[in-house]
Amino acid sequence: MTGSAPVDPRVVIDAARAAGLMLATAESLTAGAVVARLVDVPGASAAVAGGAACYSYTAKQRVLGVDRDLLERTGAVTEEVAAAMADGALALYDADFAVSTTGVAGPGPDARGVPAGTVVLGLARRGVPTRTRVLHLEGDRVALRAATVDAAIAELAAALDVLRD
């Protein structure tokens, strides 16, 4: 979804609300900015169950149930961790869909050498295998985080089948 116009969060909230679905977020890189963008929409309380901003390994483990051994073995910026974060938010909030964000905002690579701009999104849906998406974005820390928020909202929109190509 990068390179295209950002999805208006109202579209996501309206679609979820109309279908009686609840959304949740599990955010590391974006630190709660995705859920904040969603709840900026009037009526969001009917479609947003909650969001967890889990920056540290400990928070990812305690709040979202991400396996500590996985985090220590692979680091936080992997498809496995993004999937576990999304699954954790789905369970934590008893939601129908959950999106997760993890990545490296920079200015340089993380301690494991993962380059700045590497982002992994997870999308969990009740009753369906969790999927992930790896993005390679460019820009400074603020631009990377903003682009990740846009991408996460676009993932929700696509999952809700509300995008028109």
Model confidence pLDDT, tens digit, residues 27-64: 999 999 999 999 999 999 999 999 999 999 999 999 99
Residue 100 lies in a domain: yes
Domain that residue 54 falls in: 9-159
Residue 2 lies in a domain: no
Model confidence pLDDT, tens digit, residues 54-107: 999 999 999 999 999 999 999 999 999 999 999 999 999 999 999 999 999 999
Residue 165 lies in a domain: no
Residue 35 lies in a domain: yes
pLDDT the model gives residue 109: 95
What total number of domains does the chain contain?
A: 1
With contact defined as beta carbons under 8 Å apart, do 66 and 89 qualify? no
pLDDT the model gives residue 4: 74
Per-residue three-class SS string for the chain: CCCCCCCCHHHHHHHHHHHCCCEEEEECCCCCHHHHHHHCCCCHHHCEEEEEECCCHHHHHHHHCCCHHHHHHHCCCCHHHHHHHHHHHHHHHCCCEEEEEEECCCCCCCCCCCCCCEEEEEEEECCEEEEEEEEECCCCHHHHHHHHHHHHHHHHHHHCCCCCC
Residue 40 lies in a domain: yes
Question: pLDDT confidence of 164, banded at 50, 70, 90?
Answer: very low
Domain CATH number, residue 129: 3.90.950.20
